[in-house]
Amino acid sequence: MGMNKSYVMYIVDEVCRVLYLSACDAVSFPLDHQGWEDLQAGFAARRGYPGVVGAVDGSLLAIDRPEDYDGFYCRKGYPALNIQAATSMFMSAEIRLGSWSDSNSWKHSIIGRRATSIIHAGTRFIGGSSYALLPHLMVPYVKREESGELNALQRRYNFLHSSTRMAVECTFGLWKGRFRVLQTVMDEKTIVKTKRVVMATIVLHNWMLALRDTTRITPYVESTEYEASEIDDHSASATMLRKIGKQKRDGIASIIC
């Protein structure tokens, strides 16, 4: 016996709604000390970068142009949502308009505002050059901030940093490979429904990892086009945070390079 299309869509919507409501439990940071220790060990095993408890990045998802499309067009010229995540698996995921930069998404995100109360002292997130340098968010050295060419230690640091940060790129690749709808232009009728579908796939992805799913997945390869971070906050407090972040980064570089 067949089902009519409207009933099938109702069931899909209900499943996505329930999964969306499960996100707080399924997408979260470790709940105990051992979980945080395991995170650090996993990242350190890559290239010896110490104290990392999460790699942060954004990923664009193309969508049909909404009726009210202001703010949805991304830097690549199409309407999109920007998914900011902290991984190895998805530990945090927030959905923003496509026009939001990575740096702006971080600044207004829950983990960006509460990082010092979420992670333990002596630990940090790592992100690409599209993020601002902070005491709890280490980014690569860039020429424009170093007044010229990078020295050998800085180049070595960037290599180790990039190799460690690849965890988040791998997570996005596996996620989009598992749910190929994310590789297309998403055409749900409303943005609310689109966000529910996106979060539902994130929840399911984490559950599959927890269950050690053995399905063979061809990871989706994102284009490696990084936006440049612009310093848009010149307040005394922001300047001090960048200074502390630079001191911490220099200290880490002197140890691991």
Condensed to tens digits (0 to 9), the pLDDT of residues 206-221 reads 999 999 999 999 999 8
What is the spatial distance between Cα 89 and Cα 209, in angstroms, rounded to a whole number?
8
Question: What single DSSP character describes residue 43?
Answer: H
Number of compact structural domains in the chain: 1
pLDDT at position 145: 84
Q: Tell me how long the chain is.
A: 257
Which contacts of 108-117 are long-range, i.e. CB under 8 A and separated by 24 or more positions? 109/84, 111/56, 111/86
Question: Could you give the angle at which helices 152-178 and 191-210 cross, rounded to 10 degrees?
Answer: 100
Q: Specify the pTM.
A: 0.91
Closest by CA position to 137, among listed 257, 251, 248: 248
Condensed to tens digits (0 to 9), the pLDDT of residues 9-53 reads 889 899 999 999 999 999 999 999 999 999 999 999 999 999 999
62 — phi, psi (to 5°)?
Answer: -70, 140
Residues of the domain holding 106: 5-256
pLDDT at position 237: 82
Strand, helix or coil for residue 123: coil
Strand, helix or coil for residue 95: strand
pLDDT of residue 227 exceeding 70: no
Task: Return the amino acid letter for 242.
Answer: R
What is the spatial distance between Cα 34 and Cα 162, in angstroms, rounded to a whole number?
26
pLDDT of residue 129 exceeding 90: yes
Alpha carbon distances (Å) from 237 to 19, 172, 243: 40, 33, 10
- Give Cβ neighbours of residue 206 (< 8 Å, ≥ 6 apart): 26, 27, 89, 90
pLDDT at position 58: 95
Unique residue bearing structure tokens 């290599």 = 159
Mean pLDDT of 185-203: 95
Residue 26, token pair as written in the block:
């399924």
Mean pLDDT, the chain, whole residue set? 92
Condensed to tens digits (0 to 9), the pLDDT of residues 109-122 reads 999 999 999 999 99
Unique residue bearing structure tokens 């990923």 = 59
What's the N-to-C CA distance of the chain in angstroms? 66
For β-strands 80-87 and 90-97, DSSP reports them as antiparallel
Strand, helix or coil for residue 215: coil
